[in-house]
Structure 1
Amino acid sequence: MRVIVTRPLREAQRWVQDLTASGLQAQALPLIKVGPVDDTTAVVQAWQRLADYVGVMFVSGNAAEHFFASKKPLAPVFTAQAAIKTRAWATGPGTARALLRLGVAPDFLDAPSPDVAQFDSEALWQVVAPQVQPGTRVLIVRGADTLGSDPAGQGSGREWFAKRVAQAGAQVDFVVAYQRCAPDFHAPEAALAQAAATDGSVWLFSSSEAVANLQDLLPDQAWSGARALATHPRIAAAARKIGFLDVAESRPTLSDVVASLNSTL
C-alpha cells in the first residue's frame, strides 16, 4: 500500500523520508515544478520598499525561500535589531519553519496557532487583523505559473486575504517571487500514476494546482477507483472534481497526515 506524495520534488523527498520513518510506504511523484522567476527586479524592489509594509504575507515556504534569495546579505529584517519593523506572516507551520531557517526572529513572525482547525489565509487573518489599520500597507509574496499569472482556480485564499486587507482600509500589493509549472512527465512517471489510479495507493494532495496538473498530464485517465488524502477542503473539492470518489481530509502537519493515512489504510 503506497502513499503517492505530489509536492514539488524537494518537499516530496522530505515527506517521503518522514512518512517512511513513520512506518508507511511512500513514493514521490511531484506534480508541481518550482523555480525562480526569470526577472527578479520586482522582488528586489520589494526588498527596497520593505519598510513601507506593516506585514509581509508568505503564501508558502517556496515563497519565503525565493523571496529571501534576493535579500542583500547584510540587510537585517524581521528582527528586533533591524530598523525595519515589518512583520513576517505565515499561513502555516511549514512556511513558518522556512522563515525561521531564513533568519526571521520568532518575535517578528505571526502564524496561526498550532492547534487551529485549518492552516490557511482565513486562520492567519484572525491573528494579524489587528495589525492592519487604515492607511497601512501589506505585501503578499506568491508564486505564478510560467506565464506570470495565477492559474485558474488558484490563489483563492490569498485573494480572500487581500480583500480583508482592503476592507480594513489598507493597501495590498503582490510580488511574484517564484514560478510554478507542470513537471516533466515521462514514461516512468506516467506508468506510476496510472498504476496508482487503481492499485489502492493513496494520493497525498497538498495543492489544488497539483490536482489540475495531474488531470492535464493524464487527460484520459479515470480516477474513480483512486483514493486521495487532501490537506484542505478546497484541495479535496478539486480532487473530487476530476473524478476521485474516495477523498479524505487532514490537517497538513505530519502527525495529522500520518494519523489520517493510518486510519485510511
Structure 2
Amino acid sequence: MRFLVTRVQPQADAWVRQLCAAGHEAQALPLIEVHALADVSAVQAAGQRWSSYHAVMFVSHHAVNCFFKENQALALYIQAQATIKTRVWTTGPGTTKALLAQGVPASLLDAPDAQSGQFDSEALWQRVQSQVQPGQRVLIVRGRSQPLAGLEETLTDAGVGRDWLAQRLTQAGAQVDFVVSYQRGAPDWGSEQRTVAQMAAVDGTVWLFSSAEAIGYLNELLPQQDWSQALAVATHPRIAQAARSLGFGQVQQARPVVADVLASIESFR
C-alpha cells in the first residue's frame, strides 16, 4: 500500500520511516504547520506559576516543546524540588515521550494506558478524575489555530477534547486556566504538493489523518477536489467523521499506532 502521512513534522517523517520499514511506500504531506508565538510572555508567566497548579495538561508534543523552550530551567526545578507535587497530564504516548525528554519525572505523569482503546481527553479523564478536588487549579497548555473560514464545525477539532476536559474539571469544582504555547496553521503548498494530493485522491493511496483540523485545511487547499474515491485511516472518531464529511469514499479508524493502522487497511485490499 501507499500512504500519505499528514502529521506535523517531524512526526510525519518518523511515521514514514516506520511504514517503509514495514514494507509499504509512504510519503509525508503535512497538513498543519507549527510556528512560534511572537509574544511568549504568557507562556513564561505560566511556567513561573507551575507549583500553584494541581496539574498541567499538555495537548501535544509541540505544546510541550514550545512551553519548555520558554521555561528552560523549569524541568531542573521540578526535579530538584521534592515538594513540587504538580501532576503532568497527557493524552498519548508521543506527548508523554516529549515530556520525559524534557526531564519531567515519570512519577509525575498521568496518561491513558498504552493499551487504551483511545488516546484522547475522555480516556485521560478516566485516569485522573479521582485526583480532582474542589478548589484545585489546572493549567491546559495548547496551540492556537488559524481560522478555518466557512467550514462546518465537523471539519475542525481545534480544542474539542480540551474544552470537554475543561468542562469536566469545572463541574468537579476545579479552576481551569489555558495558555497558548504555539500557533498552528495551513501549510503553504506549491504545485508539487497539490499534484501529489490530487493524485492521491484517486489512485488508491491511503491518507493518514491525526487531526480533523488538518482535514479542514485540506479542504481549503483543494476546495474543488472530489474525494469519493479516496481512502483514509483516522486516529479518532471525530477525525473519521470529518473525513467522511469532506467526502472520503472509505474511512477506517485506528489507534495512532503503526501496527493498528496497518491492521485497519485490510478492508481496502
Return the TM-score normalized by structure 1: 0.94
Residues 74, 237 of structure 1: alpha-carbon distance in 2 compared, 3 angstrom cutoff: closer
What is the aligned partner in structure 2 of residue 137 from structure 1?
Answer: 137
Distance 2:250 2:267 in 1: 13
Q: Aligned-pair distance for 1:9?
A: 2.4
Q: Is the 8 A contact 1:77 1:86 kept in 2?
A: no
What is the aligned partner in structure 1 of residue 108 from structure 2?
Answer: 108
Q: Is the 8 A contact 1:80 1:105 kept in 2?
A: no
Q: Is the 8 A contact 1:79 1:108 kept in 2?
A: no
Q: Which runs of 4+ in 1 moved over 4 A?
A: none
What is the aligned partner in structure 2 of residue 88 from structure 1?
Answer: 88
Structure 1 residues 1-265: aligned runs within 5 Å: 1-73=1-73, 76-79=76-79, 81-146=81-146, 153-262=157-266, 264-265=268-269
Letter in 2 for 1:58: F
Residues 78, 87 of structure 1: alpha-carbon distance in 2 compared, 3 angstrom cutoff: farther
Q: Aligned-pair distance for 1:253?
A: 1.6
Residues 9, 194 of structure 1: alpha-carbon distance in 2 compared, 3 angstrom cutoff: same
Q: Which runs of 5+ in 2 are unaligned?
A: 148-154
Distance 2:9 2:43 in 1: 24
Return the TM-score normalized by structure 2: 0.93
Q: CA RMSD in A?
A: 1.6
Q: Is the 8 A contact 1:250 1:257 kept in 2?
A: yes
Distance 2:37 2:233 in 1: 30
Q: Is the 8 A contact 2:51 2:86 kept in 1?
A: yes
Q: Aligned-pair distance for 1:263?
A: 5.3
Distance 2:139 2:74 in 1: 22
Q: Aligned-pair distance for 1:264?
A: 3.6
CA deviations 1:170-217 (Å, max 9, x no partner) are: 100000001101001100000000000000000000000110000000
Q: Secondary structure of the equivalent of 2:176? A: strand
Residues 74, 200 of structure 1: alpha-carbon distance in 2 compared, 3 angstrom cutoff: closer
Distance 2:98 2:195 in 1: 33
Q: Secondary structure of the equivalent of 1:236? A: helix
- Aligned pair count? 262
Q: Which runs of 5+ in 1 are unaligned?
A: none
Distance 1:197 1:146 in 2: 25
Distance 1:91 1:77 in 2: 24
Q: Is the 8 A contact 2:31 2:218 kept in 1?
A: yes
Distance 2:252 2:75 in 1: 44
Letter in 2 for 1:172: V
The more displaced of 152-161 and 121-130 is: 152-161
Residues 263, 106 of structure 1: alpha-carbon distance in 2 compared, 3 angstrom cutoff: farther
Distance 1:16 1:82 in 2: 40
